[in-house]
Amino acid sequence: MAAAAGLRCYFPGSTIGSGFVRPSSSSRGRRAAAVAAPSREAEPAASLGHRTRVDFPILHQDFDGTKLVYFDNGATSQKPFSVMKTLDEYYRSYNSNVHRGIHALSAKATDAYEGARRKVANFVNAADSREIVFTRNATEAINLSFLLLDKKLFSYFVYQILLTVAEHHSAIVPWQFVSQKTGATLKYVGLTKEEVPDIEQLKGLMSNRTKMVVIHHVSNVLGSMLPIEEIVTWSKRVGAKVLVDACQSVPHMPVDVQKLGADFLVASSHKMCGPTGVGFMHGTFEMLSSMEPFLGGGEMIADVFNEKSTYAEPPSRKSWQHISMKAFVLFQMSGYMVQHLPKQITVLLYALSMLRTFILQILQKFLISSTANLVLFANPLFQHGVAIRSGHHCAQILHRTLGINASARASLHFYNTKEEVDVFIHALKDTIDFLTSQH
Ligand SMILES: Cc1ncc(COP(=O)(O)O)c(C=O)c1O
């Protein structure tokens, strides 16, 4: 299931020459067999992709007569009508400050806002909706956790923060700040020969010096999944806190924060078909209550005096007003996604099997040597209407570890169809054929 969250299709970095495609000697000068473009009309009515894509207006557009195939969901997902409608209704009929006014508009906005918190809490099975703190995005949620923790946990230079080389920059750079401020050491877990994070190494590195373990649930580049429950158990044994970056798992699979047992888990609305500008952090109530406030201001106070203030209980202590406007739309999405999550696997498995065959047959014959070249590679794909991501995916340490500059990522969501996978495979073959003919 994890690999399904992001189909990885990376190309070994070439040290040879400056050409961006180097055909193998066996294929040089030969045109690949023509691949018939699949028909996009003959779509079985019952599939999840076909049933849900009608809800996503952006998916139904052409570029110079070519239909869009959106396979960049790992970067951001598209938004259904219900999200746009909820935002529109909010601004048209009950725009007001939550938790402030006593008038009907404010009461309705407050209900929607707290309803969102409950829905998100249910979505990830939090024990209490007060354990959900809304933030502006996942990056802010991670920064929030380090700002809240650093004074307590990292006051000695002997302390260590454990990460894997596959973390997103958003989960690395905040801990570099902590390290620079406190002298705590950053320790990176490498990859196995299967090119997934080395769990045995992670276990071996844990000691009573380890204060924080920062790990992804599903990698945004490798598509691999880490055994969070086990890692939490090992971390607790040495007294370390665990932060799970669940940006790529929450939108694609059921995530149960109680079962995982981590101290913090963060995710992002814009990857979950919700609006941009909202993320959330789950932290146990006990943990959140023991932490210092993040931003001083309106919503987080209990009483304000001339010299000092007392603070509200979580979640208000951590969050603040201006992010709340879109947060309530998340609840729409969590309801919507709950219906579809368990069913999204079929098309992803199809895509994986198609891609695996394809990679074995064709792709291994080509080497692509730089980020710029990968962009050149992604561009012809878009001539076929296929939007994928190329570059380092905010994971430069991982790419360096793999010895490559960049990779191309096709990532699907539940609204994608088998027919789109066929278009993608066709576009990939055609692109490589085209690039080969240029050399
Ligand atoms: C694994 C991972 N972590 C963190 C982030 C950052 O999320 P946000 O855009 O909500 O800050 C991303 C987004 O690309 C991601 O894929």
Q: Which of 338, 370, 398 is the last residue of a domain?
A: 338
Q: Which domain holds residue 323?
A: 83-338
Distance between Cα 270 and ligand 1 center (Å): 9
Q: Are residue 278 and residue 312 in the same domain, yes or no?
A: yes
Q: Which residues of the chain have pLDDT under 50?
A: 1-44, 320-323, 360-372
Q: Are residue 257 and residue 138 in the same domain, yes or no?
A: yes
- Residue 27: the pLDDT is 34
Ligand 1 atom showing the smallest separation from residue 393 Cα: 14
CATH of the domain at 367: 3.90.1150.10
Q: Are residue 237 and residue 333 in the same domain, yes or no?
A: yes
Distance between Cα 37 and ligand 1 center (Å): 34
* Residue 144 and residue 294 in contact, taking contact as beta carbons nearer than 8 Å: yes
Catalytic residues: 394
Of all residues in the chain, the percent with pLDDT exceeding 70 is: 70
248 lines ligand 1 (CB under 6 A): yes
Angle, CA 250 vertex, CA 246 and CA 256 arms, to 5° = 90
- Residue 255: the pLDDT is 92
The answer to whether the peptide bond before residue 315 is cis (omega within 30 degrees of 0) is yes
| 3-state SS record for the chain | CHHHHCEEECCCCCCCCCCCCCCCCCCCCCCCCCCCCCCCCCCCCCCHHHHHHCCCHHHCCEECCEECEECECCCCCCCCHHHHHHHHHHHHHHCCCCCCCCCHHHHHHHHHHHHHHHHHHHHCCCCCHHHEEEECCHHHHHHHHHHHHHHHHCCCCCCEEEEECCCCHHHHHHHHHHHHHHCCEEEEECECCCCCECHHHHHHHCCCCEEEEEEECECCCCCCECCHHHHHHHHHHCCCEEEEECCCCCCCCCCCHHHHCCCEEEEEHHHCCCCCCCEEEEECHHHHHHCCCCCCCCCCEEEECCCCEEECCCCCCCCCHHHHHHHHHHHHHHHHHHHHHHHCHHHHHHHHHHHHHHHHHCHHHCCCCCHHHHHHHHHHHHHCCEECEEECCCCHHHHHHHCCCCEEEEECCCCCCHHHHHHHHHHHHHHHHHHHHCC
Q: Are residue 252 and residue 264 in the same domain, yes or no?
A: yes
249 lines ligand 1 (CB under 6 A): no
Burial letters for 205-216: b for 16+ Cβ neighbours within 10 Å, e otherwise?
A: bbeebbbbbbbb
Q: Which of 292, 308, 338 is the last residue of a domain?
A: 338
Q: Are residue 333 and residue 359 in the same domain, yes or no?
A: no
Ligand 1 binding pocket mutation candidate from 247, 265, 326 (most atoms within 8 A of CB)? 247
Distance between Cα 428 and ligand 1 center (Å): 27
Angle, CA 250 vertex, CA 387 and CA 378 arms, to 5° = 15
Burial letters for 119-135: b for 16+ Cβ neighbours within 10 Å, e otherwise?
A: bbbebbebeebbbbbbb
CATH of the domain at 267: 3.40.640.10
pTM above 0.95? no
Q: How many folded domains does the chain comprise?
A: 2
144 lines ligand 1 (CB under 6 A): no
Q: Are residue 65 and residue 124 in the same domain, yes or no?
A: no
CB neighbour list of residue 117: distance below 8 Å, 6 or more residues apart: 129, 130, 132, 134, 315, 327, 331
Q: Which residue has the tokens 């500008």?
A: 277
216 lines ligand 1 (CB under 6 A): yes
Ligand 1 binding pocket mutation candidate from 144, 168, 276, 397 (most atoms within 8 A of CB)? 168
Ligand 1 binding pocket mutation candidate from 394, 398, 407, 409 (most atoms within 8 A of CB)? 394
Q: Based on the number of CB atoms within 10 Å of its own CB, is 360 exposed (0-12), middle (13-18) or buried (19 or more)?
A: exposed
Distance between Cα 247 and ligand 1 center (Å): 6
CA pair distance 2, 309, nearest whole angstrom: 45
What is the number of other CB atoms lying within 10 angstroms of the CB of residue 308?
A: 7
- Residue 17: the pLDDT is 24
Q: Are residue 307 and residue 347 in the same domain, yes or no?
A: no
Ligand 1 atom showing the smallest separation from residue 138 Cα: 10
Q: Are residue 360 and residue 397 in the same domain, yes or no?
A: yes
pLDDT (tens digit, 9 = 90+) per residue, 173-227? Answer: 999 988 888 888 999 999 999 889 999 999 999 999 999 999 999 999 888 899 9
Q: Which of 305, 338, 371 is the last residue of a domain?
A: 338
Residue type, 76: T
Q: Are residue 103 and residue 206 in the same domain, yes or no?
A: yes
247 lines ligand 1 (CB under 6 A): yes
Ligand 1 atom showing the smallest separation from residue 76 Cα: 14
CA pair distance 383, 121, nearest whole angstrom: 42
78 lines ligand 1 (CB under 6 A): no
Q: Are residue 173 and residue 283 in the same domain, yes or no?
A: yes
- Residue 80: the pLDDT is 87
268 lines ligand 1 (CB under 6 A): yes
Q: Are residue 230 and residue 376 in the same domain, yes or no?
A: no
Ligand 1, atom 12: closest residue by C-alpha: 247
Q: Are residue 108 and residue 250 in the same domain, yes or no?
A: yes
